[in-house]
């Protein structure tokens, strides 16, 4: 068992490496650019939505409860379309420092828990492959999805390998 206080440097380094690697991947690689498109007649649509007074949240349209899903009226709405989800954020420009700070804090939390689990399951002086397997298991099961998982696992492995 490795005390968590001995792992503060790998925790911090892995969070920094994952943060930088994910930022570089997101900015330089263009495969996410096709995920977002502009609405046709965006100005008209926004002008129509403003009077509705939408609050921050996630909206589904057409909306129906589970009981209403088989109703002919809701089925007809689905057939007519459009069908989708609308995420409403607070008005104003995006606050990138806040988002980036939250992402770095998330990277630190994941690194902390992976270090904790690895410190409890791997003995001091273990082969780096055993450490890498334990870390991969913890890092693989944490995180927002496949977007940054490979970078997170690789960076955490490489950081702990040097311990």
Residues 4-44 pLDDT 10s: 788 888 889 989 999 999 888 888 887 777 888 898 999 99
Structure tokens given for 43: 């100005």
When pLDDT is averaged across residues 61-82 and rounded to a whole number, the result is 92
Distance in angstroms (rounded) separating the CA atoms of residues 136 and 139: 5
Residue percentage of the chain with pLDDT more than 70: 82
Between the CA of residue 58 and those of 49, 52, 75, 84, 150, what are the distances in Å? 14, 15, 21, 11, 29
Per-residue confidence (pLDDT) for residue 145, from 0 to 100: 52
Q: What average pLDDT is seen over the chain?
A: 81
Please tell me the pTM assigned to this model. Answer: 0.64
pLDDT higher than 70, residue 69: yes
Per-residue confidence (pLDDT) for residue 139, from 0 to 100: 60
Q: What are the tens digits of pLDDT across the range 74-112? A: 999 999 999 999 999 888 898 899 999 999 999 999 889
CA atoms within 13 A on the CB side of 7: 26
Per-residue confidence (pLDDT) for residue 163, from 0 to 100: 47
């Amino acid at each position: 068992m490795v005390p968590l206080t001995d792992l503060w440097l790998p925790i911090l380094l892995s969070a920094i490496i994952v943060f930088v690697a994910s930022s570089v991947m997101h900015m330089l690689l263009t495969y996410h650019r096709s995920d977002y498109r502009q609405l046709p007649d965006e100005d008209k649509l926004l002008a129509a939505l403003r009077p509705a007074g939408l609050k921050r949240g996630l909206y589904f349209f057409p909306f129906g409860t589970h009981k209403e899903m088989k109703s002919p009226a809701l089925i007809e709405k689905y057939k007519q379309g459009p069908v989708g989800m609308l995420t409403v954020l607070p008005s104003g420009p995006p606050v990138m420092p806040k988002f980036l700070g939250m992402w770095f804090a998330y990277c630190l939390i994941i690194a902390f828990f992976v270090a904790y689990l690895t410190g409890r399951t791997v003995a001091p002086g273990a082969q780096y492959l055993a450490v890498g397997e334990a870390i991969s298991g913890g890092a693989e099961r944490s995180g927002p999805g496949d977007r940054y998982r490979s970078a997170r696992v690789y960076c955490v492995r490489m950081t702990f390998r040097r311990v």
